[in-house]
Structure 1
Amino acid sequence: MSLKPWREIAVPHEDVLKGTFQQAEFAADLSRVHEGSATVEYQNPTLFFQRTFITEGMRLLLDSVVKRLSGKGGDPVIQLQTAFGGGKTHTMLAVYHIANGESPASNLPGIPAILDAAGVTELPRARIAVLDGIKSSPNQPVIRNGQPIRTLWGDLAWQLGSAEGYSLVADADASGTSPGKAVLETLLSRYAPCVILIDELVAYVRQFEEGKTLTGGSFDSNLSFVQALTEALKAVPTAVLLASLPESDKEAGSQRGVKALASLSHYFGRIQSLWKPVGTDEAFEIVRRRLFTSINDKLAAESVCRAFADYYTANSEDFPRETQESRYFERLMHAYPIHPEVFNRLYEDWSSLDNFQRTRGVLKLMAKVIHRLWKDNDKDPLIMPGSFPLQDADTRNEMIYYLPQGWDPVVERDVDGERAETTEIENRDTRLGSVQACRRSARAIFLGSAPSTANQMVRGIELERIALGVAQPGQQVGIYKDALRRLGDRLHYLNSGNNRFWFDTRPNLRREMEDRKRRFQDKEDVFPAIRDRVQKTFASGVFGGIHIFTASSDVPDDWQLRLVVLPPDSAFSRSGQSLAIDRAAEILKTRGDQPRFKQNRLIFLAADYDSVSRLKDQVRSTLAWQSIVSDIKEMKLNLDQFQSRQASKSLDDANEALRRMIRETYKWMVAPMQEARPGKGLSDIQWEHFPVNSGAQNLSQEIERVLKENELLITQWAPIHLATVLKNWFWKDEVKEANAINVWQQSCQQLYLPRLKDDTVFQATLAAGAVSRDFFGFAYGKEGDNYLGFSYGKNTSLIMDSSLQLIEPITAAAYLEVERATEEAARANPSDAATGTTEPGRGETPRAFDSAKPTYRPGGDAAPQVVKKQFYGSIELDAIQAKKQFADLVDEVVLQFTSRPGVKVKIAIEIQADATIGFDDSLQRAVKENCNVLRFKSAEFEE
């Protein structure tokens, strides 16, 4: 496809072509225009409007000014507030030229239409006062015709009415005090129609120190002047004020500047018509109008733009979504001969730099780009990001000027120039060199990524935007993708990730790191590294043991509270099947080949399923950086000091990222539980899960907090809760006592009981309940119906041994009453004591217990109910099906006993084998060794 080059359609201005422009030519200076000393393009109204694109905002503003000066309405005060380089001064110049009246409106392009819309046939010539905050000095008077003028209001009066006008505010100017609204109203009325242009007012006011008076007045007097002036303007229908204020506190400068901006914005805000001049799309036309004279062949320009739009549509998967919209053709036409992506990068990325002005900075840069391309006879149909001649020192220096130090070697080595890697690749590969695929791609990446900073969360420019900045109709996008792959392997400063590319001033060791990552395997390298890191995150806490990636056989089955950290391949997921639950259930049920009994002593910490892959990738990156740093120390890698420091820094960053990733991944507390209702049996094992705050400083403390808040762990237990457990599960039928040790041990075994931190919590609960008669009584054994060491409702020293019993409170109260009655009877009949009668609990005659009434009575007038306390059973198993039969026996019979609290089960297995021909030595040896390992009490062969 043959498309006309831009240079044959659009002709730059002469100063751009010759490269004779200066920085000052792009800086509109209102004061110099007012004095008549500005460059011709700003001083001459006709030339000014020929190169000025009247935006929608500017048109509305000029319409308001025209109406105001004609007495047909309009806003008395207009505040121009835009970002740095946003066109405030340029807009004031437009107002200046139409109000000055040096040239008739018919000679000013775009102005007659504004007058017609406002219904004004001829605009009256207005008096103009220009107050420049940068040029004016608060402490240095200006001498005009021998008259020293000290303040802004003095300067305003002199510019409007010379000595006569100044006389109205002479006293106020001399004293540095505001002249007041009435005086200013008189001044404006006498010299109307008039235009007051105040530029950089904040820069002037911020020079006044708090409470200090200078020649130009004080901070407060200048603010009072602004307030009085804005009020006076309302009363004069043909007077108008335009004032520029910076958009942000940062542009306001110092702390006083910020205060001045806030105060001025307040006073202007009472009357102002706020206007923000330039939109991003309108900036296209502003730049084009300033840099190019005209479009010679509009049909050819339209043909180029249509070819690009169709090209993007035909390759929609390779370009940004915005290019698929019909209005993108209009954007191409609007920006021609510059590609819209150039403006996007400059206005979105480069304008974020502190010293890059939105309009002036773009004009300066593009003027140099266009000059060099014209000089090099560039044949591209559009000026694209890939067209930027960064091999040209002038262009390169202009761009690098706005960036931090260190970018010059990046451009020279990796981006553009005779010694650049991109040039070398293209010289060796003619397919890439034919379209300059490497250089164009590197330029586009540089333009789109250089303004970014290392601390940004997302860096770089997307692949589709690189393609948008380099590919032209008739070319295959794939050639640029191939070029990017080559650049990724060869370039020193290029980085990539997540389909984004960016340059950095730091040398790139990432390629080496990525290659080394592939060496590390999950089981052999990654999991052990994760285990070590997890181990380091724990401090001493509530757990008697922390078991990280430990097999079930190595997790003890004892009375200690234990945290089991599951490996990454057993991660937890709230949706779908959770491998963490499967692994935890396996550890909970068995200890190796043996059943686990203390199930309520285990709590699990599991990784988040969605985070495991990122964790493993981060571990591999860390291990790769470790190997690189190690090789540097052992002189296996020949790197300079800067690269060595960067490798160490990357290792530190990787370690820190891994530390955070460990915390973010291991975030799920998983605990087993069962629901149980007295008389209704137990539910299946259920698993509760709670997230751990990954931002907490101490992981052990955070786990403890989660356990406590969700009642997965009890560190303080009220006696009433223990009494409830005893009532529901231990004081049953006629059994009114419970062995304390058994209660503690059952709480360690049964998942439906509370999970106590340790036995000290249990003992503290017993001690707290001892002084009350609401919960339980105590005894150290029972002989018949007599309790040994009985205690109820009084502070007593408890020894938690195998004889300590917890007595149901009603039974304890009844026993206490009998004990008191016996004591009283003994005191009343001392002879009973002589015959050997003793007090209850001290060896007296056994008493029968009436379960229907909670009282004791001496004697044996009621026979106690027989309680069956033991069970014996035997069975013969088939030798072939013994394994299955024994499993059924455990499930159907043994579990009936073990599921009940307080039941002790003993299982003995007897094996008898007969062989008429006898057993050989190898069989005997194997059986005896296995029996020893399995701890048989006896295992003998007989004749």
Structure 2
Amino acid sequence: MSLKPWREVARPHKDVLEGTFKQSEFAADISQVVSGVAPPEYQDAEKFFSRTFITEGMRLLLISVARRLAGQGGDPVIQLQTAFGGGKTHTLLAVMHLAQQEVGTDRMEGIPPILDEAGIQDMPGAKVAVLDGIRLSPSQSIDHDGVTIHTLWGELAWQLLGEAGYALVADSDADGTSPGKAILQKLIEKASPCVILMDELLAFVRQLEVGKAFKAGTFDSNISFIQALTEAMKLVPDAILLASLPESELEAGGSMGQRVLNALETYFARVESVWKPVASIEAFEIVRRRLFEHAGSPSEVDGICRQFSEFYREHGNKFPQDTQSNNYFERLCQSYPIHPEVFDRLYEDWSTLDKFQRTRGVLQYMAIVIHRLWKDGNSDILIMPGSLPLYDSNVRNKSIHYLPQGWEPVLEREVDGKRSEPDSIDGNDTRFGAVQAARRAMRTIFLGSAPTVSNQNAKGLRVDQILLGSVQPGQTIQLFEDVLRRLHDRLQYLYFDDNRFWLDTKPNLRREMESRKRQIDTQTKLIPFLKDRTGHLFGKRNTHCFAGIHIFTSSVDIPDDTGAGPRLVLLSPDPLYAFSKGDAKNACAAAEEILRKRGDQPRQKQNRLIFMVPDFDALSRLKDHAKTYLAWNEILSDIDEGKLNLDLFQINQAKKYRDNSDRSLNPMIRETYKWILCPLEEIVNGKPTLTWESISISTTSSNFSSNIESTLTEEEWLISQWSPIHLKGLLDQWYFKEDQQAINALKVWQDSCNYLYFPRLLNDGVFKDALKKGLESTAYFGFASGKEGDDYLDFCFGDGAGADITLDDHCVIISSDAAQVYQKHITASSDADTDGTGATDIDTDSGDGGQVDPKPTESKRTTSDGGRLDPDPSVQLKQFYGMVDLDPVKAKIDFATIVDEVIQQFTSKHDVNVSISIEVQAESPKGFDEGLQRTIKENCTILKFKNAEFEA
């Protein structure tokens, strides 16, 4: 079967064919229909339905309307809400023509099956009232046969019942107050069966300034009217209200419009049935029926589309995967004579642009395209992306109407037209010129990339998509692949990356940057750079409260100590560690790994760690920003070194892009590392259960670290001032029992550093301050620098404001009850010593000038062979020496245990000097080979061994 051009099979409507259409006529105006001045395709019900494709949503809505008017159920109120240009007004017109029945329902194409499905044999005609929010004005009255009407309810009553209806609401209309549900119910019952259509209602109500009275009433009275009307509608079984509301903030029109939309949605939602919007596949038929009088006989269309489908399957590796299914053949038939790729690009890409109306915008654009192609005798088999006549000024102007500034020269030079580079390529190579390969490829790339080039993650079109939009059956695919390489080499605004092509308004020096950006290694360049930049955000160390800020640091390199403050740990910028409100599991797991372990060993001071984790949504942008900066910086370095020869404009542009990237990096880091992740534990069933609390910090603060500190303080995740009552509560809960009324103060402080269910104190100074404040009163606890026997040394209780508190292994905190008992004891002893009537357990007559020895005398104990069993307490032991043999297989684990259990006991003291020596001996009966000897010697040199020798 020969493949006929589309113009020999299909025929456009007369207005499209002759170019006499008016773009505004694609926008249905219900007020024009009511007044009888609309174009015939909207005014005449028979013509209207002949050009209207009844979508699934419209079908369900018309069934509901028919049943409601026939008193057989149906929804009393239906809200039509969809995107700009989504067919709301067109749907209202369909309801109006069905309800009015100015022609018989048998002459309305598509309506008889709907009435059959609704189970209605003879649907009654209904009164129709139309309230058009754009036509009506809050400040101007309307005159009907000498009757002046001011309000929406006055206009509604007049349209439904004339003077009799208006009489019901005359008083309310005159003073601008809502008539109330009862009056509206009476009005609707008298007019039923009836249909009330409200189009662009928001456009009317948003003009009512809050607190100001208009002829049409106040804002509140109009909202009350809507509420009363929706409630009244459900009380009348054969009356229905349909109202169109915008979906987007852009259509709502500012803050007042959004406020009105919220109010209207609230009241309509009480009784509404929301209309189902147009599906993408239905949009094909809507456009085709409106633009084409005859789309071709089914047999011709089927034959042509089947050859396209077979061509795609025959070359399946050259075209997108979805073209290989029978479903794509059906799409070809449904959209003929327009290729589905045209619809896909317009509906998926162009409809995302501001003000591009989804269905109406496609209709307007394709009407101009079809008119120009028809006039120029286009002989393409289908109207494809590669068919777009972008050389025509009207088509070009419409194409760039919704795009940012700068596309006009790109189209002229690099897409289509007599002065374009693709035209030159086609003209100078007959292989390309015979099928307009360069121009068809560039038209396809423009349609697929122009509206999304600034915000699309995967920019542009893949090669297989370009071939789909350019190549027709019978043409050589290789020819189009060759021309893409030629275009890539010669065009200034065409970009290529990762098998994708796209156009941009910027000259492609950026292509050089993108190429370099792809070569930046994450581990060796990106991560170190981000680590350095993030470190600069925190400023100097003494400007924040943290003992250390560990940026992308492995757990083994994060100290396990109490420190002068908590340690802030920033997780690596890896998607596996990223945080989002919907999924924080991975980030918490990564933080818990560092929290619980230091390398392979358990971590003790868990309550000294606080984490910052990257935001999942911002992380990819941060990496892209950083790579972009590094790439531009590398380009400028090559320019300085003479490796790149660029003109002054390109050099300045590169500097501008580099500086812009530099300025955006710090805010981007703040935006990415905005989540604080704080570990907490609760005691559940006697066991600590780990939970993670998260909060995002402000990303605009100039001092990053101070902002973090203040947030931690506000959330009470970090305590810089601690009341003694809280310390007393902690002591009573965890330490003071019936058999234990004193606890080592150092242990309490260290426990607060260890356990996540303890408060996280800024440093030991906070702990000491709480102790001092508590010792000013007898209500909390007592304190002593040590204990010998039953005596407390330097005992303080209620008089310790000036106490010098040193945290060591001897100092103790004493419960308030025990402190009171002990204070009474020493008071009684003191009184007894003073009056000579009492005695104490201590011999005050020691023969050495009255000095009392606080240490009781104890004889040395020896073993049976005369060896020492216990040290003599009168001798100060000043040195320690220990030696242990380690299993070489698990020496790493054993040594870590020794460090934790022995060495740290010494290093935690300020006045203890510790030295450690390691002796390694190895023997081999067969001797050590030269390679092993060389390796060992080199490693020992690097590790600074004092002696490292092999012997015979």
Which TM class, normalised by the smaller chain length? 0.5 to 0.7
1:302 aligns to what? Answer: 302
1:648 aligns to what? Answer: 656
| 3-state SS in 2 of match to 1:245 | strand
The answer as to 2:209 corresponding to 1:212 is no
Q: Distance in 2 between matches of 1:235 and 1:605?
A: 62
2:443 aligns to what? Answer: 443
Shift of 1:364: 1.3
1:657 aligns to what? Answer: 665
Shift of 1:159: 6.6
Amino acid at match of 2:281: D
Amino acid at match of 2:632: W
Shift of 1:337: 1.6
Gaps of 5+ in 2: 578-585, 680-690, 737-741, 754-758, 839-843, 861-868, 918-943, 947-952
In structure 2, relative to structure 1, the CA distance for the partners of 1:482 and 1:766 (3 Å cut) is: farther
Amino acid at match of 1:150: I
Contact 1:668 1:689 in 2 (8 A): no
Contact 2:698 2:707 in 1 (8 A): no
In structure 2, relative to structure 1, the CA distance for the partners of 1:609 and 1:127 (3 Å cut) is: closer
Contact 1:422 1:487 in 2 (8 A): yes
Amino acid at match of 2:544: G
1:411 aligns to what? Answer: 411
Q: Distance in 2 between matches of 1:446 and 1:700?
A: 47
Residues 567-617 of structure 1: CA distance to partner in whole angstroms, max 9, x if unpaired? 989999899999x99xx98999xxxxxxxxx99999999999999999787
Q: Distance in 1 between matches of 2:529 and 2:492?
A: 30
1:144-543 to 2 correspondences below 5 Å: 147-148=146-147, 150=149, 165-166=162-163, 169=166, 176-177=173-174, 180-181=183-184, 184=187, 188=191, 199-204=199-204, 212-214=213-215, 220=221, 224=225, 231=232, 243-248=242-247, 250-253=250-253, 275-276=275-276, 278-310=278-310, 322-323=322-323, 325-424=325-424, 436=436, 439-452=439-452, 454=454, 466=466, 468-473=468-473, 491-494=491-494, 503-517=503-517, 529-530=529-530, 532-539=532-539, 540-542=543-545
Q: 2:631 aligns with which of 621, 624, 634?
A: 624
Shift of 1:336: 1.5
Q: Distance in 1 between matches of 2:259 and 2:619?
A: 51
In structure 2, relative to structure 1, the CA distance for the partners of 1:468 and 1:829 (3 Å cut) is: same
Shift of 1:805: 7.1
Amino acid at match of 2:213: K
In structure 2, relative to structure 1, the CA distance for the partners of 1:128 and 1:514 (3 Å cut) is: closer
Shift of 1:12: 1.8
Contact 2:453 2:503 in 1 (8 A): no
Q: Distance in 2 between matches of 1:870 and 1:292?
A: 104
Contact 1:6 1:380 in 2 (8 A): yes
Q: Which moved more, 1:3-12 or 1:478-487?
A: 478-487
Contact 1:517 1:620 in 2 (8 A): yes
1:772-921 to 2 correspondences below 5 Å: 777-778=784-785, 828=836, 837=845, 843=851, 848-850=856-858, 866=872, 869=877, 898=903, 901=906
| 3-state SS in 2 of match to 1:169 | helix
Residues 529-561 of structure 1: CA distance to partner in whole angstroms, max 9, x if unpaired? 4564244122423467879999999x9x99988
1:87 aligns to what? Answer: 87
In structure 2, relative to structure 1, the CA distance for the partners of 1:726 and 1:271 (3 Å cut) is: closer
Shift of 1:419: 3.5
Shift of 1:395: 1.0
Contact 1:786 1:846 in 2 (8 A): no
Amino acid at match of 1:511: R
Contact 1:206 1:256 in 2 (8 A): yes
Residues 677-697 of structure 1: CA distance to partner in whole angstroms, max 9, x if unpaired? xxxxxxxxxxx9999978775
Q: Distance in 1 between matches of 2:605 and 2:507?
A: 55
2:950 aligns to what? Answer: none
Q: Distance in 2 between matches of 1:204 and 1:352?
A: 27
Q: Which moved more, 1:693-702 or 1:710-719?
A: 710-719
Contact 1:445 1:501 in 2 (8 A): yes
1:650-729 to 2 correspondences below 5 Å: 651-657=659-665, 660-661=668-669, 700=705
Amino acid at match of 2:364: K
Shift of 1:288: 0.8
Contact 1:51 1:289 in 2 (8 A): yes
Residues 715-744 of structure 1: CA distance to partner in whole angstroms, max 9, x if unpaired? 9897999999999xxxxxxxx999x99999
In structure 2, relative to structure 1, the CA distance for the partners of 1:420 and 1:607 (3 Å cut) is: farther
Shift of 1:619: 4.3
Q: Distance in 1 between matches of 2:659 and 2:499?
A: 23
In structure 2, relative to structure 1, the CA distance for the partners of 1:409 and 1:30 (3 Å cut) is: same
TM-score by length of 2: 0.65
Q: Distance in 2 between matches of 1:851 and 1:744?
A: 36
Contact 2:322 2:328 in 1 (8 A): yes
Contact 1:741 1:800 in 2 (8 A): no
Shift of 1:335: 1.5
2:739 aligns to what? Answer: none
Q: Distance in 1 between matches of 2:639 and 2:70?
A: 79
1:10 aligns to what? Answer: 10
Q: Distance in 1 between matches of 2:491 and 2:287?
A: 34
Q: Distance in 2 between matches of 1:690 and 1:43?
A: 63
2:935 aligns to what? Answer: none
Q: Distance in 2 between matches of 1:75 and 1:669?
A: 50
Q: Distance in 1 between matches of 2:915 and 2:120?
A: 113
Contact 2:157 2:169 in 1 (8 A): no
Shift of 1:245: 1.9
Residues 493-519 of structure 1: CA distance to partner in whole angstroms, max 9, x if unpaired? 456777766544455442232355589
Shift of 1:394: 0.9
In structure 2, relative to structure 1, the CA distance for the partners of 1:871 and 1:726 (3 Å cut) is: farther
Contact 1:46 1:108 in 2 (8 A): yes
In structure 2, relative to structure 1, the CA distance for the partners of 1:725 and 1:273 (3 Å cut) is: closer
Larger-gyration structure (1/2): 1
2:940 aligns to what? Answer: none
| 3-state SS in 1 of match to 2:394 | helix
Contact 2:188 2:194 in 1 (8 A): no
In structure 2, relative to structure 1, the CA distance for the partners of 1:823 and 1:494 (3 Å cut) is: farther
Shift of 1:866: 4.4
1:733 aligns to what? Answer: none
Shift of 1:303: 2.9
Amino acid at match of 1:360: R
Contact 1:545 1:562 in 2 (8 A): yes
Contact 1:667 1:691 in 2 (8 A): yes
Contact 2:46 2:107 in 1 (8 A): yes
Q: Distance in 1 between matches of 2:24 and 2:78?
A: 27
Q: Distance in 2 between matches of 1:743 and 1:233?
A: 70
Q: Distance in 2 between matches of 1:469 and 1:382?
A: 10
Q: Distance in 2 between matches of 1:369 and 1:619?
A: 43
Q: Distance in 1 between matches of 2:40 and 2:430?
A: 49
Q: Distance in 1 between matches of 2:834 and 2:546?
A: 53
TM-score by length of 1: 0.66
In structure 2, relative to structure 1, the CA distance for the partners of 1:523 and 1:203 (3 Å cut) is: closer
2:53 aligns to what? Answer: 53
Contact 1:792 1:816 in 2 (8 A): no
The answer as to 2:29 corresponding to 1:22 is no
Q: Distance in 2 between matches of 1:690 and 1:226?
A: 44
Contact 1:338 1:384 in 2 (8 A): yes
| 3-state SS in 2 of match to 1:514 | helix
| 3-state SS in 2 of match to 1:405 | coil
In structure 2, relative to structure 1, the CA distance for the partners of 1:648 and 1:770 (3 Å cut) is: same
Number of residue pairs matched? Answer: 856
Amino acid at match of 2:191: L
